[in-house]
A and B are shown apart, each in its own frame.
Chain A
Amino acid sequence: MLQIRARVNLAVTKIYKIRPDALPLRAELSLAGVHCLLLTNSAELLSSVSRWFSAIRYPYPSGQPVAMEVLVDSSISRAPSAKAHFRGLRHLVFASFGAEEVFSFDLLRRRVIGAVSPATASDSSFWNTQLLPIMVGVMGTTVGVVPLHSACLDRDGRGLLIAGLSGAGKSTLSVALAQRGFSLVSDDWTYVSKDKERDELIASGLSVPVKLLPDASEHFSELKAFTPKVSLNGELAFEVDAAKVFRSHVKCISRPHWLMFLERDPRPGCDFIPYSTTDARAFYERSAELLPEELPEAAANRSEIIRTVTSRKCFRVRSGESPQKTAEAIDRFCNGA
């Protein structure tokens, strides 16, 4: 690693060069089906991400890992209140956290590079709730792991994916379902991949905190002890550990079985209306992030995963009821389906 400083009127310019021999520590991480080979020079960083050390839970959809090279340098300062800033052009995505900490995600070469301060290296919350979920979201599609904006619950190995527009109430419903005995896989983003050996879909979560909007405290008294905070996307929300706060059972993976599209309805009651595969597919395709033309294979893989997911039993759930009553109706429906 070489650091050069050039002094100018504006400020100092720092140049950090990452060479493989400057990053002697290595670990294999398993993140929602993404196989990540992490190289760094910081034992503290390895400790921060140790919960993801590869305990190969299921086959990776792609034999190719994402290479992640993170240089930790004591000359880098952490900006404590800096907001994450993301931009992307073509195959490159940039993420900066303040003026000194930066990551680049190369979607063509499946490679992530970054430089951070020792304070950030030691901050397990940063890695587990921000950077690594971002990495899976940005890189996943390139290795066959497709992020779907859906919650995922599991009952007896059968997965229930809950889609819906932002604000439809996916997270509050997920918590209410978890309180009725469903296992919580994800409340917001579910990562879907194909287990090629068994020709089955796998839905994975990242065990990140559930994010509930402030009005969720009307439905869950457990939240009264917490204060909403500004989350990564700028929304004011509670971010809590569902296992601790709601005593929910949390699982890492499930197999998609039902697919429900949640809609709020001003009228009381909760209806289940069959939803066509075509409409379900169109919903996911319409809400998927635009991908650059440099990644035609990733776009095709994503469409194939969406096509397979939406071939499951799909329903529109129109509910004018509380999350608890809606969860009760879904529980009954799943038991009978």
Chain B
Amino acid sequence: MPFHDHTPYNHPLDVLRRFMPSPLKALVEFEKDLILVETNDLSFLLPLGRSDSQSSTAASPAFHWKLLRDADASGKLAEAAVLMAGTLLVVNMGPACLAGVDMERKELLAFIGGEVDPQEYQKFVFPVLRGLTQFAMGKESTIGIPFPNELLCGNTRNA
């Protein structure tokens, strides 16, 4: 079974791709909580742990991820720029990955381009999504994007 369908989505009244089908749904364990993942690409589920089927039916998800493979978004991943304002977090890694987190509604919504392979997703995109979710769930007081080594901080430069 292919991980995802590369057929371009083309609906004349949905140029923003809001209604792109996401037929795969899974309840997965995330930092001891359950999150509901809705996607059109099985490979996005691979870095996530499976939930125990009994606890899945009993508990409601603490967060909701909607991850869409966007075959029409071309280009490689660029450096991530995260914009925070109030209860909203937005991540721009170029057209290859555009995501937002609504902390109040406990939702993460993301488009991931066709050229991002599963390894790149696991190495570069998933840690960003995980860090944002941990922050949004109150598990971290800062956005703890778990990148190795250094964290250079501080520069305040206004226009």
Contact = CB atoms under 8 A, between A and B. Distances in A.
Interface of A: 1-8, 10-18, 22, 41-42, 44-45, 69, 71-76, 85-94, 96, 98-102, 104, 106, 111, 113-115, 118, 121, 287-290, 292
A6 B92 contact: no
Contacts of A118: 159
Given A90-B107, A290-B13, A104 B66 contact: no
Contact of A14 (B80, B147, B151, B156): B80
Interface residues of B, number: 54
Given A13-B147, A85-B98, A99 B78 contact: yes
B156 A3 contact: yes
Interface string B3-14: 000000001011
A121 B29 CA distance: 43
B159 A7 contact: no
A101 B145 CA distance: 20
B158 interface: yes
B41 interface: no
B37 interface: no
Interface of B: 11, 13-19, 66, 68, 70, 73, 77-86, 88, 90, 92-95, 98-100, 102, 107, 109-111, 123-124, 128, 143, 145, 147-159
A89 B68 contact: yes
Nearest to B20: A89
A88 to B, nearest CB: 3
Contacts of A4: 143, 151-154
Contacts of B94: 96, 98-99
B95 to A, nearest CB: 4
Contacts of A290: 11, 13-14, 18-19
Contacts of B70: 87
Contact of B13 (A71, A91, A104, A287): A287
Contact of B147 (A7, A44, A94): A7
Given A13-B79, A41-B159, A100 B88 contact: no
Given A1-B156, A7-B152, 12 more contacts: A8-B148, A11-B77, A14-B81, A87-B111, A88-B17, A89-B18, A90-B107, A93-B16, A94-B92, A99-B94, A104-B88, A289-B13
Given A104-B83, A115-B81, A87 B157 contact: no
A121 B158 CA distance: 12
Instruction: Give 10 nearest A-B pairs by CB, closest first.
Output: A11-B79, A88-B16, A99-B78, A72-B159, A89-B109, A102-B92, A18-B85, A99-B94, A8-B147, A42-B159
